Every structure is written in C-alpha cells, then in structure tokens.
Chain A
Amino acid sequence: MHTKTIEQLIQGLRAKEYSSVELTQHFLDRIAKHDPAINTVITLTAEQALQEAAAADKIIGSKDAPNLTGIPILHKDIFCTQGVKTSCASKMLDNFIAPYDATVVSKLRNAGTISMGKLNMDEFAMGASNETSFYGASKNPWDLECVPGGSSGGSAAAMAARLAAGSTGTDTGGSTRQPAAFCGITGLKPTYGLVSRWGMIAYASSLDQGGPMAISSECCAHLLQAMAGFDPKDSTSVQHEIPDYLADIKRPIKGLKIGLPKEFFTEKLDTNIAKVIDTAIKELEKLGAVIKEVSLPNIHLAIPTYYIIAPAECSSNLSRFDGVRYGYRCDDAKDLVDFYERTRSEGFGTEVKRRILIGTYVLSSTSFESYYRKAQKVRKLIANEYLNAFKEVDIIASPTAPEVAFKLGAKNTNPVDMYLRDIYTSSVNLAGIPAVSIPAGFVNNLPVGLQLIGNFFAESTILNAAHQYQLVTDWHQQVPTAFV
C-alpha cells in the first residue's frame, strides 16, 4: 500500500480493498519500523489518527465524503495543530501545545486526510540540511550518512521512506524543493498568497509559503487542491480562483515553451548534475516542449539579497519568543532583561541566533539603507527579470540544487557555504512565483532534482509538465532499498 499514489489509495479505499484504519495502521507500522533509522517524526498521534480513520471508514464511498477521506499524512512541525505539540524543532517551543489549528491543517482535515503526526525540520525552518533541529537531524533514506536537505527535511525523508501518503512542507528559500531533490520526491512551493500562512510559524513573512510534498506531481496536485484558497485570517492571502489541478495536469504539453536561464547552465554547474538535467530536458522535448534560452542577469545576487531580507524579517518575527506567555522560560532570572536574554539564548539554537543578529544589524539605523532597502530594490530587479523571461516562455527549468545530498556535518563550519545551497531556489521566493522539484535521475546513487518554475499562479502549468514527465519516467517511483 505504501508505494501507491494518493489517487491509487483513493480508488483502493473506495473499492474497499482496504479500510482507512488498515491503511493508517500500515503507515504507523512502517513509522515504528523505519523511523528510528531516519528520525523524521517528532510527535506521533497514532491513537488520534486511528480514531479519525475509523470515522473516515464510515463515510468512504458516500456522497458526503470529501476527496481525500481516509488518506494518512504527516505535517511539518511548523504548522500549529490544536492540542498537539508544535515545536518548530526548537527547544524554545518544546513544551508548546498549539491552542488552534493552522489553516493548512484544518483545510487538509476538512478534505478528509488523517494526520498521523508532526515532522522534523531545521529549527524555525532555518537551514538547508535539517541539522539545526533541536531533536537531531533527520537522515536521508538513500544514504543514512547524508542529510535529507532542509528545512523540510523530515517531510522529504518521510516521503522517500514511504511513511505516509503525503506530507506538508514550507518554503522560504527552497525548503520544500531542495529536500525533495535530495530525497527523490516531489515538492511544490506555491505562489506567495495561494496557501494561507495562518498558524504556520513565521520565519520570513514576505517569503514563507506552505506547500505539498509527496511521491509524485499528481499527489501534490491532490494535496494542493485541498491546501490552496483565500483565507481572511491571513492578510497576504490572495483572492484567486482555484483551478482544477487534477484535470489540468492531464493536458498534453505539446508546444509548451521551456526556458533555460543561461546563468544557471555555466561551467560552474557540476557536470554529473548537468548531464541528468540535460537528459530530463530532452525527455520534455520529446513530449513536445519547445526549449529556449533565457537570461536572468542579476540572479547571482539572489542569495545575498535573500540573506538580508530573510534575517531581517526573522529578527522581527522571532522577537515574540520571550518566555512570558508560552514556550521555553529560563530558571531563576535576576531581573526582566536577564529573563529575556537567557530565555532566548538558551531556547534558540546557534543558526537562529545568528540570523536574528544579522537581521538586527541590517535593520539598525546605520545599515538600513545600505543593506535592507538596497536588498528590497535588488529583489525588485530579480522579480522583474523573471517576469520578463515569462513573456517569452511558459516555464523556466533548472537544477533544484547544485549537488546531491552531502554528508552530515560536512558544511557546518562556514554558514555562508551552507547558504550557497539555495543558489537555484531562493530567487523564486524573492519573486513570489511557484516552482516544483521532481526526481530526474541519480548521481552516485543519490537523487537529483529538476526544478520547474512558473509565473504567478501557474501551479497547473508546472504540475502539468511534471506529471507528463512522470508518466514517461520512473525516477519518482524509486524507493531506497532499505525502505521498500
């Protein structure tokens, strides 16, 4: 059951080949057996999941049953879940029981999914390897000595190990796509404003966006159908008619114009990765896509721009964690300043504190114009370059990451070295447009991701190309040997 797509599971449940209780128990058994090796689950809600599955079984097949009734999923531990620990993988929130559900959580529940628990991640979504988690890093199922990517590393690793039918992730600079690439699964970062951020613990509010992570593009389309939509509780949520993603992905892609940014395909790109991406592009060409070179001249400034804007917003957002109303609180404070400083210093990990201090620096009166305002202008330049490119093409393709998964601990000494992992992904968040990463092959027995970037609200277009590619390839169906 665990290798089936969400569509196949929906059909199996409706045909009574198995019940939702059996399906949920099957995944819970797999979590018990396999998770100790990869450390993806922070909180398991097995009992609650089985109760929800039993309730789902009573309505499966009836007219009233929503589309995803009885499908077991796991949530990144950044989404608030009422009555269940929501830690953001931080000591700061290790004791935090969320008093309400995130909109993404309630929408997926209303669509019929069963939540089995909460997934590991980089602390407050700050990291590209999962190693900043308070609960220890998740491991990559393809090689347990390698990172699963980050920040949604738990979501990606859990999907690669087939521990659920789908999962949720969030993406601020590549956090659904890069781990999806490292773990050989499909991960989508939707258009900013398409998926509500309400109840999704904020890192950088102008960049953060929740998205689905699953085996295939079709699975992601199923999950996105449930997650997307206007939410009055999120002031940046956009009123946009939600298309029928499942219908849209079935269209042939003959004539689809795919742009390859010349700045992404230089001699700096690893030759083995380049070979995989080249083969994938040829496959899309065989399906009728037309390939064209495009240019994004200032794209090399995306990472520096990102690492000014994201820490600035982070320093502002994370000021709410002061130990007063919830979360970690230090012992025996001698006064209020000592209380705040020790609570935050003991509660946050090193990378989070580093970003808070960078953010505080770039927002300070002497640096505001030269760093923060300047970065906001460069952001505009980069966004405009994408919009210009989309006048010529429908999709932009690139590698998702400059390399395959690296060894745990390999990039811990220099933060800038870790930041450079976002080279193909962070510009998408700066522009606010959608992108998906799909498995396209292997290098040294580790998965390689192909990134397909679309214009605003063009989720159908990129999921369509991804789905058509997955109909003629089987990279997305590969399962690591130890997790078959």
Chain B
Amino acid sequence: MLVDKKKLEKLAHTAKISLEEKAFADRIEADLHNILEFVAEINEVDTSEVDVMEHSQSETLRTRDDAVTESNLREEMQKDIPDSYHADGLYLVPKVVE
C-alpha cells in the first residue's frame, strides 16, 4: 500500500479530516492507494528538459497598488452568520489556553 495506516493518520491530521467515521475510514485507505497508483503513470515520461507550468498564463501575476479600497466590513460579514459564532464583533471558538 502506498498509504499505510500510520501515513493515513498523519495526512488526516494535517488536513484536519477526522477518520472516526468508520464507513469513510474503511474505504479511504484503498481509495488513496488506487488513485495514487493511477496517477503515478506520469512517471513514464521523461521531463528532465521541461520547465514546470504553474498556470496557463505566462505573464507574471499582477500586483495592485497598496491603496485602501474598502472600509471595515466586519458588521456586514457577520450579518448573516449564526449568533452563536460571534460576540462583540469577535469570533467564538473552543478555549485554546488553559
């Protein structure tokens, strides 16, 4: 297997995906193996003389002027989210520091 249990647990932890749901955990190891085996076909071609292509437009990505274009949108951004997500303009999450 290209991805064993230990590797899978590390990947899942990195991606913050839980493996607790049994139906998902049972099939994902085999799925990942099959997909990775399938995509490994790209190794059959020699690319030693080829540059990487990060996206299809060759021009350098633009930067914009360092100018203020929008005012504070906090109230607008929090208008339609559930009340339990925020208080006094701040987002609420489980306690991080004991």
- The interface of chain A, by Cβ under 8 A from chain B, is 83, 95, 97, 99, 192-193, 205-206, 232, 235-236, 238, 298, 301, 304-305, 307-308, 315, 319, 322, 324-326, 329, 333-342, 344-345, 348, 350, 353-354, 356-362, 364, 370-371, 373-381, 383, 414-416, 419, 430-433
Contact = CB atoms under 8 A, between A and B. Distances in A.
Given A301-B42, A344-B16, A358 B73 contact: no
Contact of A350 (B11, B24, B38): B24
B61 A236 contact: yes
B80 A344 contact: no
A360 B15 contact: yes
B32 A416 contact: no
A308 B42 contact: yes
Given A324-B91, A329-B82, 12 more contacts: A95-B81, A99-B73, A236-B61, A301-B41, A307-B39, A325-B91, A335-B94, A339-B94, A353-B24, A380-B50, A381-B45, A430-B53
Contacts of B56: 192-193, 206, 383, 430-433
A467 to B, nearest CB: 26
A304 B53 contact: no
A235 B62 CA distance: 6
Given A206-B56, A379-B53, A97 B80 contact: yes
A430 B54 CA distance: 10
Contacts of B28: 353-354, 357
B57 interface: yes
29 contacts: A192-B57, A193-B57, A205-B55, A236-B57, A298-B45, A301-B41, A319-B16, A325-B77, A325-B81, A325-B85, A335-B94, A336-B93, A345-B20, A348-B17, A354-B31, A354-B32, A357-B8, A357-B11, A357-B12, A361-B11, A371-B36, A377-B47, A377-B51, A378-B45, A380-B50, A380-B51, A381-B50, A415-B35, A416-B38
Interface of B is mostly: loop
B52 interface: yes
Interface of A is mostly: helix
Contacts of B50: 377-378, 380-381
Contacts of A337: 16
Nearest to B24: A350
Contacts, number: 170
B3 to A, nearest CB: 7
Given A238-B57, A377-B51, A358 B32 contact: yes
Contacts of A192: 55-57
Contacts of B53: 376-377, 379-380, 383, 430
A315 B42 contact: no
Contacts of A298: 45
Interface in B5-33: 8, 11-12, 14-18, 20-21, 24, 28, 31-32
B76 interface: yes
